Chain A
Amino acid sequence: MHKRIWIGTLAVALLISLGWGINEYRLAGDYRLASENNSRRAFSDFASHLDQMETVMAKGNVANTPNQQIYYLSEVSSKSEGALKDYSQLPADQAGLSYIGQFLTQSGDFTRTLAQKVAGGGTITADDTKTLQAMHDQLIPVNQKVQTLMSRIDTENLAWTDPGPSLRQKLGFGGPQIAEAAADGSEASSKSVRSGLDQLDASLQKLPPFTYTGEYSSRVVQKPLGLPTGQVNKTQAQSAARSFLTKVGYADAAPGFVGETNGDFKGYSWKYKDAYLEISRQGGVVTLYRDQRSINPRTLSIDDAAQRAKKILTTLGWNLVITSSEDFGSYVEFDAVAEQNGVRLYPDKVRLMVALDNGQLVGLDAAPYYAFHHTRTFPAKITMNQAVQKLRTNFKIQESRLAVIAKSGNQEIYAYEFRGRYQGEDYLIYLNAQNGTEEKIQRIIKTPRGEYLQ
């Protein structure tokens, strides 16, 4: 009797777990299929975008009227953007620097810059043509290899990524792992889509870089232009940190050494209580300061804080104008920029954070200022009246001034800045001060924390 009940219960339990298992297995299959479909979509789209990009690039090479040139060049850049987007969704074990990505970005960037040049009345030079052809020559083998991979997915049942070592290999039996064979970038046949793309990446890496001017033309960061001359050692950096802390309200501070920083600003970093600051090796100035102390209830208004910010700037030896503020509740953030002969130098920016409980400085980011500050020589300009004539009718000017603004690719533009209203929206419009062409438009919106430029 008891035995029967036991057998019955076990049989039912087995059936239930079996049913559950089958259901889970089917669900997992559905998910696998959904992800497989997504990968296939991305890869097919990638291959298709590359193919179209190759075609329009060939057409762009031969086009001879500005209209057609602009059209095909813009098409190349839009196809390259699409290809990059698809490429970045392909399965991978890890992501690193991608030369395929770089190639796509740069060819898109170059053709976009060229299209803008033609649209602005410029012409395609012999050098441009050369670069365009070089890009096309590189694109053809990339396109071919991707199409080969595409067909191998069907014919050889290629996996997306290299399989990990099997249990046998992990235990030390079995032969060498397949992944090792292709790791040196040799032309050994790849075992997965990813390793095929990695080989392509390695072959692109060996080619010389393109020379052109554009947003992504080079990855070389300019040397900081605004740091004072002379190197400081660790002891001098510490006394610079101490003197800064005294100025912002921490008398007799003893900053402790945290570490060294590399990159654009080599320096020493220090810590005192909840504050962290970095002193540059060149010039021994504070490039970054942040005090994370807890802030007491607010006692100051934004205007009070702005007055404090001005005082702090003077104490720290800066002569800057405050251009904007953002209210974060317990502190306000101010941006201040340098001026030269009344011209605002927007790239030379310092950001300050002023606590609203006692007006103390709780944050400073002077990196942009030290990166870009130098004495500019201003070229001849058109008059303000001439510039105003170039604006849209009905654009109601509220403020106007001369300014230097940053443009993509580390370029600077000397421009007239107009703040004004058009059809219920506020804008900043920048006209090139030399020839009056429209260089940049920014829309001004009000976020909960303050004005924001889009």
Chain B
Amino acid sequence: MILRFRSRWIVLIVGLILSITLTGIAYGALGDRLLGRGSSGPDVQEMQKGLAQLGYGVGPIDGKFGTKTEAAIRNFQKDHGIKVDGLAGTKTISELKRLTGQSTNASGKAIGYKNVDINLLAHAVNGEARGEPYLGQVAVAAVILNRISDPAFPKTIADIIYQPGAFSSVNDGQINLSPTASSLRAAQEAASGVDPSKGALFFFNPAKTTNKYIWSRPELVKIGNHIFTK
């Protein structure tokens, strides 16, 4: 009895170890197999890179499908109309590949990601308005873009964001955090012309600001914790 019980366990354990090592060895390109909790290999790493690029934090990019990677996959699936199951199957991987691909010209030649400015804008949105409602994030990005078309400000996104004293997230280094998916989306939306800030040039958190100049500007709209002014 005892022996049989033991041997059953041994078979189970050996089987488990074998299947784990085999999945580790038998990896191919990303999309060749179903990835889930416990998977590892270069294809998982590639997937993690893609997720991070789109703003879904996976922790360290180590090629191991852990809890953080699973949470990122779930969020990605939720945002992209895919059934939320935490597993990276064909649909999830192909959507990920589609969105992380390069832009092409009419004859199909890859010409880069074409998102340099959006990326910096998303960093600023992430640093300034991480906890704000989505429209408030779009509005923060819109303020930066409104400054470009105002004569009194510098004319590039980088010059505006890194102008000394312009944004507190530059001073405390929060701008360097990886942008979230929502900040990236907000930056894209503002760049495509949506402006919930109503043409604002400044925004501030009334609970944290004593600056007289900024309080003296006319209020346009309040979204979340930010007042947007001109």
Which residues does A use to contact B, with CB under 8 Å?
Answer: 81, 84-85, 87-99, 101-102, 105-106, 109, 215-216, 219, 221, 259, 261-265, 269, 276, 288, 290, 292, 294-298, 326, 328-331, 333, 349, 351, 356-357, 365, 367-368, 421, 424-426, 443-449, 452, 454
Contacts and interface: CB of A to CB of B under 8 A. Distances in A.
B194 A365 contact: yes
Given A425-B107, A452-B103, A89 B163 contact: yes
Which of B80, B160, B214, B230 has the most chain A CB atoms closer than 10 A to its own CB? Answer: B80
Interface string B176-215: 0000000001000000111110111110000000010110
Given A109-B151, A448-B98, 11 more contacts: A89-B159, A95-B163, A96-B213, A96-B214, A262-B198, A262-B221, A296-B81, A330-B78, A367-B195, A445-B106, A445-B111
A259 B196 CA distance: 13
B222 A329 contact: no
A85 B159 contact: yes
Contact of B99 (A93, A262, A448): A448
B222 A106 contact: no
A368 B199 CA distance: 12
B196 A288 contact: yes
Contacts of A349: 193
A330 B80 contact: yes
Contacts of A357: 81
B105 interface: yes
Nearest to A109: B151
Nearest to A295: B81
A292 B101 CA distance: 27
If over half of B's interface residues share one DSSP class (helix, strand or loop), that class is named, otherwise mixed; here it is loop
Interface in B87-136: 95, 98-101, 103-107, 109, 111, 114, 133-135
Given A88-B154, A424-B105, A448-B100, A330 B81 contact: yes
Most chain B CB atoms below 10 A, which of A89, A101, A424, A425: A101
A369 to B, nearest CB: 12
A445 B104 contact: yes
A91 B164 contact: yes
B150 interface: yes
Q: Interface range on chain B: under 10, 10 to 19, 20 to 34, or 35 or more?
A: 35 or more
Contact of A88 (B134, B135, B163, B195): B163
5 contacts: A81-B155, A85-B156, A98-B152, A328-B185, A444-B106
A125 B134 CA distance: 50
A84 B155 contact: yes
A346 B108 CA distance: 27
Given A88-B154, A109-B151, A263-B221, A351 B107 contact: no
B79 A330 contact: yes
Contacts of A85: 154-156, 159
Nearest to A443: B105
Interface of B: 78-84, 95, 98-101, 103-107, 109, 111, 114, 133-135, 149-156, 159-160, 162-166, 185, 192-196, 198-202, 211, 213-214, 218-222, 230
Contact of B152 (A94, A101, A292): A101
B151 A106 contact: yes
Contacts of B133: 292
B103 A447 contact: yes
Contacts of A93: 165
A426 B103 CA distance: 13
A303 to B, nearest CB: 15
Contact of B159 (A88, A329, A368, A443): A88
A259 B100 CA distance: 39
Contact of B82 (A91, A298, A421, A452): A298
A102 B11 CA distance: 78
Contacts of B230: 263
B14 to A, nearest CB: 39
A443 B219 CA distance: 38
A262 B222 CA distance: 10
B221 A259 contact: yes
A327 to B, nearest CB: 9
A292 B136 CA distance: 13
Given A105-B151, A294-B78, A329-B95, A263 B198 contact: yes
A38 to B, nearest CB: 11
Contact of B81 (A89, A263, A356, A445): A356
Nearest to B109: A424
B165 A448 contact: no
A329 B192 CA distance: 17
Contact of A219 (B99, B150, B166, B221): B150
Contacts of A328: 80, 185
A120 to B, nearest CB: 23
A297 B14 CA distance: 39
B114 A447 contact: yes
